Amino acid sequence: MRERDGAPYYVIERETGSGVGPFLLGALVGAGVALLFAPRSGEETQRDIKERAIKLRDAAEERVREAQDQIEERLELARAELMERVEAVREAVDSGREAAHEAREELEEKIERSKAAYRAGVDAVRDAAEGQGEAKEEAAED
């Protein structure tokens, strides 16, 4: 409590959230105040209390159902988003595997071409060397 110009004043802060608890508390306080100030007989008061309790219960059940629906909806959305992300990761892994397989096949082909070129070069040198050797023998015989 603070004083302003000699008169006290109160600052009331409210939280931004709402819930079933404050709703039920307000309903109970309202029902109690209404019963205290209502000029009725005991039977009428009991009937009124019963009717209000039923209304209060129905309202609380409705709020709980709404909360459950919201939670289920959020869970379903989160599940769908998770499944999308899992599928995206799965596709990325599959693409990576396919790219690695293609790269390996390409590398193996290049290695085979290099080996064939090497063998052809060796054979060509051997043939050339044999050809020179024969030419020298023929020159030596002449």
Instruction: Render the chain in DSSP notation, one character per residue.
Output: -EEETTEEE------S---HHHHHHHHHHHHHHHHHH----HHHHHHHHHHHHHHHHHHHHHHHHHHHHHHHHHHHHHHHHHHHHHHHHHHHHHHHHHHHHHHHHHHHHHHHHHHHHHHHHHHHHHHHHHHHHHHHHHHHH-
Render pLDDT for 100-141 as a digit per residue (tens, 0 to 9). Answer: 999 999 999 999 999 999 999 898 888 888 877 666 666 666
Residue 32 located in a structural domain: no
pLDDT at residue 10 in the model = 60
Compute the distance between CA of residue 110 and CA of residue 74 in angstroms, rounded to an integer. 54
Residue 5 located in a structural domain: no
Residue 60 located in a structural domain: yes
Compute the distance between CA of residue 31 and CA of residue 73 in angstroms, rounded to an integer. 34
Which of 29 and 55 is assigned the larger pLDDT?
55
Mean pLDDT, range 41-49, rounded to an integer: 79
Residue 9 located in a structural domain: no
pLDDT at residue 1 in the model = 47
Residue 16 located in a structural domain: no
CB atoms inside a 10 Å sphere around CB 27:
16
Mean pLDDT, range 86-92, rounded to an integer: 96
Mean pLDDT, range 5-14, rounded to an integer: 62
Q: pTM here?
A: 0.43
> In the structure, what pLDDT confidence band is assigned to residue 27 with cuts at 50, 70 and 90?
confident
pLDDT at residue 113 in the model = 95
pLDDT at residue 35 in the model = 67
- Both tokens of 61, joined, read 């059940």
Tally of domains within the chain = 1
Residue 74 located in a structural domain: yes
Least confident of 22-26, 34-38, 71-75, 84-88: 34-38
Domain that holds residue 117: 41-141
Render pLDDT for 48-85 as a digit per residue (tens, 0 to 9). Answer: 888 988 998 999 899 999 999 999 999 999 999 999 99
Residue 26 located in a structural domain: no
Compute the distance between CA of residue 60 and CA of residue 31 in angstroms, rounded to an integer. 15
Residue 13 located in a structural domain: no
